[in-house]
Structure 1
Amino acid sequence: ETFKDKVVDLFATHFPDKDPRTFQVDRIKGGSFNRIIGVTISQPKPQEFTWEWVLQVFHNMCGQRQVKKDEKYIIRIPRAKYEGDEMKYDVAVLQFAASRLPYPIPRVQFVDYTSENALGSPYTIQPRLEGNNLAPVQTSLTVEQNVKLTRYVMDIHRKMHSITSVAPGVIHPDTTTSSHLSLTRFLVPEHPKGHEKFLALKHATLPAESQTTKQFLLELCNRQEDLDETTQDWAWPFWHQFKQIINLLHDRGFLPDDEVFHFSHLDLLGRNLLASVDHDRNTIDITGVLDWDMEFSCFAPKFVAYKAPFWLWVTDDVNDENEDFADTISDPEKPSLVAAKRIFDETAGEDWKRFAYTPEYQIARKMFDVLKTGCANQPMQVQAQEVVRRWKDLYPEDE
């Protein structure tokens, strides 16, 4: 039995009134954390001389041609081998975002957190949103299209800025409605050489509590340091250096104690937007906002939420996560990029721009990424070193 057959069997259980012969299964490019499968349920033609066939012929003769649209779905299957515990958090985030934000966000129609199914894996089934991935065409947009896109992306961020909490954390599966918010502390990331002690630590999650930004960052730093000592009997020196930077950021007024935490999508880039682009009519419509996973969607410090969407004014050859380009236009000769940067600078407001362009906050965001993810792999170890180096360059007197 092929994987395609397994998908057909699964859909036959969820759509018992449909003919499995109308199921078309396609592989879709997935992400780092999920395998994506597309399924189209075609609408069968009515049999000749049935009432449905007669009505269809009649409508066609009257110029009222009625065409039933195919039903399209996607299956998201986690690449990691676990029994759905973390997927419960992903579903909770998705449902919370869909209930609080007025944008085309996927909804979960079916979910199984176990492996006791035709696929042998946890999965979710979602109606497939219209449109194509924006990333491949984003830099070819016209000025008018990129201006509309920039305003739309900024509007998403503003709506998320308005959703706040006195506690930082990840949305807990107990969150059942848009008005009932339950948060847990950031989950300690998995270590590739984990053992029993680590697993006990990993699942010892606690409800999130009201904290200042400084308290939250120091606590997260201590948890990562404890994780290192638990799994490898020593800790990276970055954690001690990060604590010094956090305290200095607070002492210099960059982490005031009265700030709350904001709902954030940390990977809101072109690759996670679906769009319908019509170059003939010079229009663009955003048809989907994707990737509301626990890994990227959380209640984070204000300096994290108020990052500039600078991917809107950089070219394909520029790393869309490198904030060295946040306050520059990678190709000043390209009018659409110039227009996007101008719209942000003119409409973002001084508060957002201060968080977006201030070097201390850019360093703090790189540090937060390490604090959230850990130093279990070389890229994050290099990033941690970069944080320390950039701070020393900015404040050599702190050594």
Structure 2
Amino acid sequence: MTLHLLCVGGEDHALRIPFLTALQNRGLRVSAAGTGAGFPFAKNGIQYHRYQFDRFHARFADRIAVGQLSQLVHRVQPDIVQTFDTKPNLLAPLALRGAVPVVRTINGMGWVFSSTDLKALAFRPAYLALQRLTACWTAATVFQNKADSDFFRRYHLLGNGSSVVIGSSGIDVKAFETARAETGSISQLRSELGLGNAEIVLTVSRLTVQKGIPTLLDAARIVHEARPGVRFVLVGPRESEGPFAVDQALIERHASYVIAPGARSDVPAILGIADVFAFPTEYREGIPRVLLEAGLAGVPIVATRMPGCDDVVAESWNGYMVPPRDPRALAAAILDLLRDPARARTMGQRSTELVRREFDLNVVADRYTDLYVRLLSVGSLSDDRAARKNSSEVQ
């Protein structure tokens, strides 16, 4: 019998298509459910189901999502449901209540445990209670970094399910290198963005307060005063980020040395123009994919000391770690790398070796596949359910 996996995520679920394809290549039958467009999944031969939830609001919309997921699983009949992202990790166990084994991946702790906003602080007890409740119907929890694993253990959020650390959802090294090779020249890209021969500090991120963009803009001003030829390029969406979005007026105050071209599909190519990759997040990340991409591109990294970032960046080895919300420390680390390009190149080369060894997509897909097989082998798939599946396959 072929193991059938339904992978549930949110609006950016298409980013996990390489991961799902890698699972298919290992003999799994894979379906996906998310809130975004289905075309990218169909293009890659993955059956896709759309459901609805609002990541900015709850209550009625979440109840609808729970009902939709319950009906979807009843119709699709997967052997295992894999979830990513904060809300799907909560909604799917509530919808299924043990009918199908659920594996949730904690890819960061989300806004509730990243923000110092009073509203976020008020939500934390409710979040902990929900996690304890949904743990009752979760077969296994995957963490992308040890800090999150330690947190869940400390607050008893695992129930009776198993847990394991698997760093990131993996990065397709071959596809990344192919994408870089197939794009236009560096000079064309510089010309398109109006960068000339400037030194480039790049970030790829949602342009939100929690991602540290205001701190980065303050650091950009300090760097500009010391090194006027440097340009900061902020790649990523802003308008779609609702109440978390950075005010456009704030970005425009730094327009002489900061450009924000929005979200782009050619990130592998844009990394080729970067002298430094800055990631000033204040958000509890899982393993930030953009750090893996920057590492593969051989760009030295300056990141904040936040969970997930320190799984990729080692201080003074392949980059620098700075405190969150500290523009002076961020600027100082950026300037240090810009002033010593030979050392910066060495750091970037170390990142490339690390990503290939620890975060390659094939390594990650093997670990997930082993987990699914292990869960089913210890009885998560009942004999009755298996019989029903075999009967439907014969028909």
Compute the TM-score of the two structures, normalised by the length of structure 2: 0.25
- What TM-score, normalized by structure 1, do the two folds share? 0.25
Structure of greater Rg: 1
